[in-house]
Chains A and B, each alone.
Chain A
Amino acid sequence: MDSEDDMQDAWGGESDGNLSNENEEEDEEVSQSNEPDYGFDDFAADDDINPSSRLPQSNYTILSEADIRQRQDEAINTITNFLSVSKMEAGILLRHFKWSVSKVNDEWFADEESVRKCVGLTATRAENRRRSQTENLKCAICFEMHPLSRMKASPGCGHYFCETCWTGYIHTAINDGPGCLTLRCADPVCGSAIGEDMVLGLVVEEDRLKYKRYLLRSFVEDNRKAKWCPAPGCEYAVELGFVSGAGSYDVVCKCSHNFCWNCLEEAHRPVDCETVARWILKNSAESENMNWILANSKPCPKCKRPIEKNQGCMHITCTPPCKFEFCWLCLGAWTDHGERTGGFYACNRYEAAKQEGVYDEADRRRDMAKNSLERYTHYYERWATNESSRAKAFSDLIQMQAVHIEKLSDKQCQPVSQLKFVTEAWLQIVECRRVLKWTYAYGYYLPNHEHAKRHFFEYLQGEAEAGLERLHQCAEKDLQEFLEGDTWQNNFNDFRTKLAGLTSVTRTYFEKIVRALENGLQDVVQGQGAQGSHVAQGSRRR
């Protein structure tokens, strides 16, 4: 297939904008020269190439705590203005309606009375008569008489309790969890909401911090559009704008964690959330152990414990307390063995029985388990290898940004801003490793009987692997020369062109493969029975 030189010819120092034309021409050449029609370059030739475009960006925003606070303030201000309510009341309404400004508006204007009742913003006041500051009142919680100055009324309903009891009441609620955000008056039949003003005015510092934390968290945790980044120790949240039709939820947090917003596992395009869940379960499941045991052991004929025969003769003695002695081949008692069964170490009872078909069933089961285990191991190993490769590439990227870029800038007398293409290349490698890794989970679940699809899939995967190797090689080995030796400026420009070109073509290829797999390899179904070239053309028309 394409050698590295071919690749370079294709780029030939052209700017990105001209790449597609260049490739169109090559397309024809390739078809004429009878090579497979779905090469790496062909794939790249589709559509126009925009170096800045990664995988289709879904619409999402990374929110820091300060951003969240700002959003909360904005929402509260909007509601305050629209509904002419206090900020505290706006906060209560927004928390009740999961921070959806439009929902608050809709519900409020549909039936203000029932919304007020529901969230506890009732206008009914307990007792409204004027009280003199010297008057003594009985607190209905501690049953003590207090002067009015030591009593406090909830601003919403006017129910009086002493300050100590209010504080205790609120303290208990805060320590019970986020339910404190919808706290109601301590009077059992009142139901009037206790807002943050009153809460923060009464409690000790520790409770203040907890309460404020719950306030902040509610914006993310109650909100259907926002989730916390699942990376350990990360404090960012991700807010989703709208979901793209493709149904991909992959997002990249500012902490650089790349995850699926929907299932919160690591990013897994082109595989869907359900497959990922199955794959992860499979990787961790006990079932693989069972398969191994089935494939590599036989149960002791007496105590039924599985025994692995890793060496030695056919005379097996089970471990204590069983100690049963038997023949590995026929599983019969060793005492029945001797000259008449063909000798101690060559049990012909087994051979005879096998010819009669006695052991076929058990053997077949073992074979099947062994095959399925081998099949799984095949995919798992490649999945895991690509993962460690991705992790390595990621640490290389960090190293590159931290040390090598500056070194390169010195050696090649290039401003750092001109070396962005190196980081771009490494970012692409990390991303490709991730995609490639998940194609193995995809391959594992691709039904065996769909031969055409499987064939096509393996071809695409092989091309992807080869293309990525080229890029990886260039970014790693070729770059090394420029980092270590003194080289001509001119030469470096060639390197730039080559690496940038490879990055771009690899990116495009991977975008295509992701789309093709997400489509369930639809093109194959359309062109079932057709040759590879038809398949490729079907895809290109898309």
Chain B
Amino acid sequence: MSGTTANSNLPRRIIKETQRLLSEPAPGISASPSEENLRYFNVMILGPTQSPYEGGVFKLELFLPEEYPMAAPKVRFLTKIYHPNIDKLGRICLDILKDKWSPALQIRTVLLSIQALLSAPNPDDPLAENIAKHWKTDEAQAVATAREWTRLYATGA
């Protein structure tokens, strides 16, 4: 389906979610729809304080598939990040994006969950095998690398 037709019969739920995201954004999160395709969102998440990602601004893309909200949104990091549950293509290992998705969840809840994932990496359920290994064998050093990557890739620009 092309962008314009998708936009013309955009479900009310998506319109409402978009309005609320713009009018009452969640702290540290911004999400705005693309002009050509209202199902595609440009997202920015601030690295949570007290995490190795503090001070970084992380760009993500979020797409609402045709079946949304019966199917989960598709989300991906665009900014390079050193995190055991995020791989080098930016794909995220998060249960609510997969089998634990519920149509009563929203874009907002998804992004809040991703923000929480940055605060609490889970190396026991890894997506990036070697980063997870690093995290488990030498957490201090892994955190230092994450901090370094944040400085290199997620600041300035």
Report how many residues on chain A are interfacial, defined by Cβ distance under 8 Å. Answer: 14
Q: Using Cβ atoms and an 8 Å threshold, which residues of chain B touch A188?
A: 96, 100, 102, 104-105, 109
User: Using a Cβ–Cβ cut-off of 8 Å, how many residues does chain B contribute to the interface with A?
Assistant: 16
Query: B13: which of A142, A161, A171 is its contact (CB, 8 Å)?
Result: A142
Chain A residues with Cβ below 8 Å from B27 are none
The answer to whether B71 and A172 have CB atoms under 8 Å apart is: yes
29 A-B contact pairs sorted by A residue (CB < 8 Å) = A140-B104, A141-B103, A142-B12, A143-B12, A143-B13, A143-B16, A143-B17, A144-B13, A161-B104, A165-B103, A168-B70, A168-B103, A169-B70, A169-B103, A171-B70, A172-B67, A172-B70, A172-B71, A186-B102, A186-B103, A186-B104, A187-B102, A187-B104, A188-B96, A188-B100, A188-B102, A188-B104, A188-B105, A188-B109
Residues of A near B12 (CB, < 8 A) are 142-144
Question: B69–A141 contact, CB under 8 A?
Answer: yes
Chain A nearest Cβ from B41, distance in angstroms = 17
Judged by a CB distance under 8 angstroms, whether B28 is at the interface is: no
The answer, yes or no, to whether B11 is at the interface (CB within 8 Å) is: yes
Report the Cα distance A169→B69, complex, angstroms: 9
B67/A141 in contact, CB under 8 A: no
Q: For residue B67, which residues in chain A have a CB less than 8 angstroms away from its CB?
A: 172
Q: Which residues of A contact B69 (CB under 8 A)?
A: 141
State A171–B103 Cα separation when bound (angstroms).
Answer: 13
* Complex-state Cα separation, A342 to B87, whole angstroms: 71
Report the separation of the CA atoms of residues A142 and B68 in the bound assembly, to the nearest whole angstrom: 10
Give chain A interface residues in 162-209, CB to chain B under 8 Å: 165, 168-169, 171-172, 186-188
Q: A-facing mask of B5-21, CB < 8 A → 1, else 0? A: 00000011100110000
Are B104 and A141 interface neighbours, CB within 8 A?
A: yes
Given the complex of chains A and B, what is the CA–CA distance between A172 and B109 in angstroms? 21
- Smallest Cβ distance from B149 to chain A, in angstroms? 32
> Which are the 7 A-B pairs with shortest beta-carbon distances?
A188-B102, A172-B70, A140-B104, A141-B103, A143-B13, A143-B16, A142-B13
CB distance from A310 to the nearest CB of B (A): 54
What is the CB-to-nearest-CB distance from A224 to chain B, in angstroms, rounded to a whole number? 24
- What 6 additional pairs, Cβ within 8 angstroms, besides A143-B13, A188-B102? A143-B17, A144-B12, A169-B103, A171-B70, A172-B71, A187-B102
- B13: A residues at CB distance < 8 A: 141-144
CA distance in complex: A142, B15 (Å): 10
Alpha-carbon distance A144/B11, docked complex (angstroms): 11
Per-residue 0/1 for B28-44: is the Cβ within 8 Å of any A Cβ (1 yes, 0 no)?
00000000000000000
A161 to B70, CA, bound (A): 13
List residues of A (122-158) whose CB comes within 8 Å of B's CBs.
140-144
Nearest CB in chain A to that of B102: its residue: A188
Q: How far is the CA of A186 from the CA of B69 in the complex (A)?
A: 11
A141 and chain B: residue at smallest CB distance: B103
Bound state CA distance, A168 and B109, in angstroms?
21
CB distance from A209 to the nearest CB of B (A): 20
A-facing residues in B101-116 (Cβ within 8 Å): 102-105, 109
Q: A161 contacts which chain B residues (CB < 8 A)?
A: 104
Q: How far is the CA of A436 from the CA of B67 in the complex (A)?
A: 57
Q: Which residues of B contact A186 (CB under 8 A)?
A: 102-104
Query: Closest approach, in angstroms, between the C-beta of A481 and any C-beta of chain B?
Result: 70
In the complex, what distance in Å separates the CA atom of A168 from the CA atom of B13?
Answer: 14
CB neighbours (8 Å) of A165 from chain B are 103
In this complex, what residue of B is CB-closest to A140? B104
Least CB separation from B71: chain A residue: A172
> Would you give the 0/1 interface string for B59-70, flagging 1 where the beta carbon is closer than 8 Å to chain A?
000000001011
A165–B70 alpha-carbon span in the complex (Å): 9
Chain A residues whose CB sits within 8 angstroms of the CB of B100 once the complex forms: 188
Q: Mark A356-382, 1 if CB is under 8 A from B, else 0.
A: 000000000000000000000000000
CB closest chain-B residue, reference A168:
B70
Tell me the complex Cα distance, A187–B13, Å: 16
**Cβ contacts under 8 Å, B109 to chain A:** 188
CB of B94 to closest CB in A, whole Å: 13
Complex CA distance for A144 and B70, rounded to whole angstroms: 16
The smallest beta-carbon distance between B69 and chain A, in angstroms, is 6
Residues of A within 8 A of B103 (CB): 141, 165, 168-169, 186
Closest to A165 in B: B103
A204 to B103, CA, bound (A): 20
The interface centre, meaning the residue of B11, B16, B102, B109 with most chain A CB atoms within 10 A of its CB, is: B102
Minimum CB–CB distance for B96 against chain A, Å: 7
B11:A142 contact, CB within 8 angstroms: yes
Residue of A whose beta carbon sits closest to that of B99? A179
Interface flags for B71-102 (1: CB within 8 Å of A; 0: not) read: 10000000000000000000000001000101
| Most chain A CB within a 10 A radius of its CB, from B67, B100, B103 | B103
Cβ–Cβ < 8 Å partners of A140 in chain B: 104
A307 CB, min distance to chain B CBs, angstroms: 48
Could you tell me the distance in whole angstroms from the C-beta of A244 to the nearest C-beta in chain B? 41
- A171 and chain B: residue at smallest CB distance: B70
Among A142, A172, A187, A188, the one with the most B-chain Cβ atoms within 10 Å of its Cβ is A188
How many angstroms between the C-alpha atoms of A161 and B67 in the bound complex?
17
Q: How far is the CA of A466 from the CA of B100 in the complex (A)?
A: 65
Give every chain B residue within 8 A of A171 (Cβ-Cβ): 70
Q: Please measure, in the bound complex, the distance between the C-alpha atom of A143 and the C-alpha atom of B15, giving whole angstroms.
A: 10
CA distance A141 to B16 in the complex (A): 11
Q: Roughly how many angstroms separate A161 CA and B100 CA in the complex, as a whole number? A: 18
Write out the residue numbers on chain B whose beta carbons fall within 8 Å of the beta carbon of A144: 12-13
Chain B nearest CB from A183 CB (Å) reads 11
Q: How many angstroms from the CA of A89 to the CA of B137 in the assembled complex?
A: 46
Q: Which residue of B lies closest to A170 (CB)?
A: B70
Q: Shortest CB–CB separation between residue A140 and chain B, in angstroms?
A: 5
**Shortest CB distance A459–B (Å):** 59
Bound Cα distance from A143 to B16, whole angstroms: 8
Chain B residues in 8 Å Cβ range of A172: 67, 70-71
Give bound CA distance, A140 to B109, whole Å: 13
Q: How far is the CB of A327 from chain B (nearest CB, A)?
A: 57
